[in-house]
Structure formats: C-alpha cells, structure tokens
Structure 1
Amino acid sequence: MGGFGRYLAAALAARIASEGMGMAVVMLALERTGSAAHGAFVLTAWLAPHVLAAPLAGVAAARARRPRLFHAGALAGFATAVATLTVLLGRAPVPLVLAVAVLGGSCGPMVTGGLSSLITGLVPAGPGRDRAYGWDAATYNAAAVTAPAAVGLVAALGSAGPAMAALAASGALAAILAATLPYEEQGAGQGPGAPRAGLGAGLAALWRVRELRAVTSATTLGFVGIGSLTTVSVLLATELGTPGGGGVLMTAFAVGALGGSLTLGRVTSVESGRLARWALAGTGAALAAAACAPSTAVAAALFALAGVCDGPLLTATLRIRAQYAPDGARTQVFTLGAGLKMTAASTGAALVGVAADVPAAALLTGIAGLLLAAALLHTLMAAPKPGRPDRPDHEGATGTSGGSATTAAGPRTPEGP
C-alpha cells in the first residue's frame, strides 16, 4: 500500500473511532449507570477541548522535531483515552472520568484537521493533490455512515463495552499506520531553518486571508445548523408518524454526503470557493424542502439530496485551507478550522435542546435558513474589497493545492478529503 493509501486507512480508522464516540459513550453510561445524562456530561468533556486545543496542537505539530512521532503519539493518546474510558466509565469517580475525557478530547484536533494537513507532504502539488482532498473528505463521510452502525451492531450482539473497545482498537490501528507514513521524507515537516509560527499565527491567518476568513466564517455558521440536525431529524420523523425514523433520515444524509464527496467532491473544474457556496446553498434548499415533506420516505429522499450537496463542502474547505494557509501555520489553520466547526456544531445541538418544543418542521426550516445564510455570508466575504485587485488577500500564498492561486485572470482548476 502506497503512502497515500496508508494515510487514507489511518484517517478512516481514526475517524471511525471519533465518529463512534458520541453513541458509544452514551450507550455505555446508560448501561452501567442507568443515566444517559451521565454519558452526555462525559461526551461534553470529550468535545469541549477541541477548539481550545486546536491552536496548541497545530503549534506543537509544526515545531515537532519528529513530526511522524508527534502525529502517531497524538493518535495513540486518543486511542488510550478511549480504552481508559471503556474501563472507567460508570465504575470510577466522575471527576477522574471527566479528566480522562478532557485529555482524550484534546487529541481530537489531530484526528480531524491535523491529519488532513499532512496531505501536502504526501501528494505532489497539482490535480492529484486536489483529488486527494476529495478522498480525504470521503473518509469523514464514510466514518459517519459506518461508525454508528458498527457501534450499534456490536452493542446489540454483546454490550456497549466491547463497542467502545472496538473504537479504541480502531484508534490504535490509526496510530500504527500513521507511524509508517513517509511524509517526513517528502517535506511535510518544517526544516530546521524554516520560520516557526507563533501560537496566534493560525487564528491570524484565518482572519487576515480573505479566502480563509470567508470559508471559516461560512462553515462555522452553517455547522450551527448541522450540529442540531440529528436531534431535529428524530423530532421530524416522530411528527411524520415514524418514531425511531430519525436514524433513517440521518443515515440517508450520511450516505448522500459520501456519494457527494466521491462524485461532486472530485470535480476539479469549479473554483473551490464557488463549490463551497453551492454546497451550502444546495444543502439548505434540500433541507427546506424536507421541512415540508408529507412522509418519512419523502423526507429521507430529500435528506439524501441534502447530503449529496453537503458532500463536496469539506473537500472545498480543505482545498482552500491547503492553498491559502501560510507554510508555518498550515497545521494550525487545519486544526483551528476543524475545532471551530465542532464547537459550532455543539452550540447548535445545545440550542435545539432548548427549543425542543418548537415544531420540527420549523426547526428544520431554521437549519436550512442558517445554511443559506452561510452561503450568502461566503459570497459577501469572499468578494474582493472595492478598489483592490481581485487577488488572494494573502502575501506569500503558496498555492500548494495544485495550480496557481485564484486571481482575476481566472480560477484555479483541480481538487478533493
């Protein structure tokens, strides 16, 4: 298996472990303590550190003398935390369990953006790298489809404990595979004489570079809606007379997203910013239609369509980060962007919990509105300022995603996670 093939295997294994945690933690807590709320507290402790740990993880990765060892160690720490929670949850004092969850969650940014940032060192610049981002995005969507199903199946055959243990094993496999990747030999790490970005470099890049600012702001707003979609899907299915059908709706969305990332996400003739806008707008429009669906079957079809539209969004986002992030802050840009989206999703989940008595159709319409607003926000923020040439708002953009950076002369072509 080549270097990029091993990367995809490592990324898929790590993201399966990450995606399965939400369901497995709650199921294990319910099984051992009789309280789903206990699992929710542990899950909150797991997710909360992501945005705070993201810049620290990015700086540490950029400054590591042995980047391969750092990435493999972060994944090993992630897997160890999952395994430790498997043993302690419901059996050890709550403060200890929460502390382990916080430590494990702090490794989370390296499972998402941290891994994706390695692609520039594994795949040469050009159309091949653009397609590589499409495949990377597919690992997120594939994990979103398979992880909850695998956790549910293992738990049904035995208990939630073995399901959590399986996630820990998946994380350990990711760490082992990451330790074999050849990105250090291909220039992924910074050389001894390379400039070292400070702790705020990633945040500064996200704010100062127009393309990064636009996509980060838009996806963060959009993920406030996406984060509440799981809860709203359960409420919508119940209102449509199919209690328990929320899983069907979210599975349809995830399968559609996987298909979208493998098809639309591999399109290289559309400029990445435009692809992101279309993805946000298309997802919002499909979910707005689903809010008016007369049955769960029709809603599932529209959720699948929304997923197809959502599929290329991550691909476009990763391409933009790779193309416009400064060399010294690239990992920070990836980890921070992922952390902000996860925090936004957590906020959306909390908000819909407060508004759970509102009709599901109205809530889904609100989610659609957020996504459409995100598309509009990107359009406004990505437009060059009046009186300035239409060029990347970033001095020293490397254009590492293949082809030249987007300019007034025309958009760059190629791309794909």
Structure 2
Amino acid sequence: MTAALGRCLTTAFLARLADEGMGVAVVLAALARTGDAAQGAFVLTAWLLPHVATAPLTGALVGRVRRPAPLCGAALGCFALAIAALAALVGRAPTPLVLAVALAGGACGPVVSGGLSSLVAELTPEGRARDRAYAWDAAGYNAASLAGPALVALLAGAVSPGAALAALALSAGLAAPLAATLPLGRRAPARTTRLRADLLTGARVVWAVRPLRAVTSATVLSSFGLGALTTASVLFAEGFGAPGQAGALLTAFALGALLGSLAVPGTVEPGRLAGWSLLGLGLALAAAAWAPGLACALPLYALAGCCDGPLLTATLRLRAAHAPAHARAQVFTLGAGLKLTAASLGAAAVGLAAELPPPALLGAVALCQLAAAALHRALAGSAAPGGSRIGSEAWRTSAS
C-alpha cells in the first residue's frame, strides 16, 4: 500500500466513523436533553435526506474540478462543523435551526459515502493493485460502521451524548486536512459541458453500462432489506426474551463483514463475486430466521456478514472498472445515495410491519437478498472480460 493510498483510506475511515455514529448520537442527545427521542429522529432524517438529494451535484463537482482534493477537504470541514454545531444545539436550540444545521451537514454526506471512494481509482493503477485497494476501502467502511456506534455508546455512557457528538466532530475534522492534501495531482482541463448537463451523466452511465446497471439495481434492493435488519433483529431477539442480545447479533454481522471484505480474493471477477455474495447473504439470513435460539443465530449472522463484506468490495470494484473517468465520482455518489434511500425505506417498512412474527420479518430481509441475487443474475447476463474498457465503450456507444 502506498503512502498516498494509506492517507486516502485513513481519511475515509475518519469521515465515515463520524457519519456512522451520527444515527445513534443525535437520538441519544435528544433523549438525554429533552426526555424525548423525537427531535433526534427528525434531526437524523434531516441529516440523511441530503445524502441522496445532493449526490448528483456532488459527483458532478468532484468529477469536473481539476483538483478535487481541496474540494473534498472543504466539504469534510463543513461536515465536521455541522456535527460540532449539532453537539451544542440538539435539545437546546429551536428545532427549525437544528434541522437547518443538519440539512447543511448532510449535504456534504455524498463526499463521505461515495466521493472519497471514487478517488481511490486515481491513486492506484488498474488491475490487481486497484482491486486490493477497494478491498481495503470496503474493510474501512465496515470497520467504521462497527466502530462509530461503539464509540458513541462508550462516550455517551461514560461522559454524555454531547461528548460523543463532539468526538465525531473531531474525527471528521481530522479527515478534512487529510483530504485537502491528498496527492492527486492536476487533472486535464475541466469539461466544457454545462454543469446542468453533467448532473444526469452518472445516471445515464449507470443505465447504459450493463455491469453498473446490474450491481446498482441489485444492491439497492439488497439495501432495502438490510435497512430493516436492525429492527428485525431487535424483535427477533425479543422473541427469545432477550432484546438486548440484538446488539450481539448485529455486532457479529459487522465483524463478519469486516473479515469478509479483508479475506476476499482479488482474483475473483467482481460481477460473479457480487452475485454469489448476495446469494450467500440471503441463505445465511434465511437460516438465521429458522434458528431455534440466539446461540444458533449468532454464527449465522456472522456468516451473513462474511457475505456482505465481499458484496461491498465487488460493488466498489465494478464502479471503478466500468465507469468512464469523467463520470466515476457521479457513479460512486449516486450508487451510495440510492442505497441509503433504499435502506431508509426498508427501515420505515419494517416499522409498519412490526406486528408480524419476528422470524417472518427476518425472513423477508433474507428474501430481499435472494431476490437481489436473481435480479443481478438477470441483468448482468454472462460476465465479459475487459475491465473499464467495457464501461467506456458502452457509454460511448449509448452517448453517440
């Protein structure tokens, strides 16, 4: 691993640590200061909504500028300032002001969820080195999803939820100068097309290039199911009289994802890896839904996580390999935004269906993964060699 790549991955981990911890931190802060978690839920919604709405603009800007590092650094600086402001304002300031700050901070979210990953391709050559770099990026993402909530829980219990939010702001603040000084070099002169025309480029590329269309459609459906996993797991553990053990199930899933993303061999074709990962994820969760007890479900959750980790690695590799260079940032931010939207809808759907038997809810999550595997198979067809040349040629053909 080169020093430049190590700095990029460190930047991404610090920023994602902050982002992953926000969901727990704002709810705990609102609950501690007002006795009601409602404001925290509204703040979290305001934080997540712009991740989706601003993804095309963020991707277009990162793809157009000749020096993307300062732009990413500035976005992460605003991201950190918004978290710091929320640490002081949640539960104390008028709700409209708090929501406005959350919207402003969330608008920088696509840089964290997708923009930084798009830069990995500029720091590594095509081939095995880039594939391995995206495996490390996926591992960092999974590590942040595990460490962020754990850090918040630790600091909220030992000090206060406000201190937890301050720590998240510090993490994002450390990422900002690292991003601003990434040694990316200067790109070729900026594109001459209007920014408005570029806003839909990412969507056009995803639709035109078969591997991107397949993996994006499948992972959006998968994310809809996984968005329900937290609530379904709590209800599943409650069915055995131990709702607190849901944390152990989800931790096992996260640890499995981390180990899976590190262990995946770089020689496996990413399209095939994505399909098999979705299938394994669905089968493991289906088995967990039929588990006679939590002791049996725990290793099945870990196995499901071991399949989810390679899925993220495969998704990142496919985006990097098949997106034309000028649209790569948009493909990354758009894909991440769509997955986040689907996960939010999944979380809402399981709330509406919470009266169903818990095994049925967990089975529905598994069914989404199996359906996603079938969808990927149908859309991807037979894997074709050729790396990024496939994406570039398909895009040129569709655009001409």
> Which band: TM-score by shorter chain?
over 0.9
TM-score by length of 1: 0.90
AA partner of residue 288 (structure 2):
A
| CA distance in structure 1 between the aligned counterparts of 2:162 and 2:201, rounded to whole angstroms | 41
Kindly tell me: are residues 230 and 61 of structure 1, through their superposed partners in 2, closer, same or farther at Cα, counting changes over 3 Å? Answer: same
Higher helix share: 2
Structure 1 regions of 5+ residues with no counterpart?
400-417
Q: Does 1:25 align with 2:26?
A: yes
AA partner of residue 216 (structure 2):
T
AA partner of residue 325 (structure 2):
D
Kindly tell me: are residues 291 and 306 of structure 1, through their superposed partners in 2, closer, same or farther at Cα, counting changes over 3 Å? Answer: same
Contact 2:83 2:105 in 1 (8 A): yes
Counterpart for residue 58 of structure 1: 59
By how many angstroms is 1:5 displaced? Answer: 1.0
Secondary structure of the 2:54 match is helix
Counterpart for residue 379 of structure 1: 377
TM-score by length of 2: 0.94
Counterpart for residue 281 of structure 2: 283
Deviations 1:92-147 (A, max 9, x none): 11111111111111111100110000011111222111100000000111011111
Kindly tell me: are residues 153 and 193 of structure 1, through their superposed partners in 2, closer, same or farther at Cα, counting changes over 3 Å? Answer: closer
Counterpart for residue 326 of structure 1: 324
Secondary structure of the 1:60 match is helix
Deviations 1:26-46 (A, max 9, x none): 000101111112111110111
Counterpart for residue 340 of structure 2: 342
AA partner of residue 280 (structure 1):
L
Counterpart for residue 170 of structure 1: 171
Counterpart for residue 241 of structure 1: 241
Counterpart for residue 302 of structure 2: 304
Deviations 1:290-312 (A, max 9, x none): 00111112111110010001110
| Mapping for residues 346-385 of structure 1, pairs under 5 Å | 346-383=344-381
By how many angstroms is 1:195 displaced? Answer: 5.8
Kindly tell me: are residues 395 and 253 of structure 1, through their superposed partners in 2, closer, same or farther at Cα, counting changes over 3 Å? Answer: closer
Counterpart for residue 80 of structure 1: 81
| CA distance in structure 2 between the aligned counterparts of 1:329 and 1:157, rounded to whole angstroms | 45
Q: Aligned Cα RMSD in Å?
A: 1.8
By how many angstroms is 1:65 displaced? Answer: 4.1
Deviations 1:57-95 (A, max 9, x none): 011112224311101011111111111111111111111
Contact 1:252 1:300 in 2 (8 A): yes
Deviating above 3 A after TM superposition, structure 1's stretches of 4 or more consecutive aligned residues are: 193-197, 389-399
Contact 2:277 2:310 in 1 (8 A): yes
| CA distance in structure 2 between the aligned counterparts of 1:262 and 1:392, rounded to whole angstroms | 25
| CA distance in structure 2 between the aligned counterparts of 1:310 and 1:7, rounded to whole angstroms | 23
Counterpart for residue 405 of structure 1: none
| CA distance in structure 1 between the aligned counterparts of 2:266 and 2:243, rounded to whole angstroms | 41
Kindly tell me: are residues 61 and 91 of structure 1, through their superposed partners in 2, closer, same or farther at Cα, counting changes over 3 Å? Answer: same
By how many angstroms is 1:246 displaced? Answer: 0.9
Counterpart for residue 41 of structure 1: 42
Kindly tell me: are residues 111 and 394 of structure 1, through their superposed partners in 2, closer, same or farther at Cα, counting changes over 3 Å? Answer: closer
| CA distance in structure 2 between the aligned counterparts of 1:41 and 1:160, rounded to whole angstroms | 17
| CA distance in structure 1 between the aligned counterparts of 2:390 and 2:282, rounded to whole angstroms | 35
AA partner of residue 231 (structure 1):
T
Contact 2:321 2:388 in 1 (8 A): no
Kindly tell me: are residues 77 and 193 of structure 1, through their superposed partners in 2, closer, same or farther at Cα, counting changes over 3 Å? Answer: closer
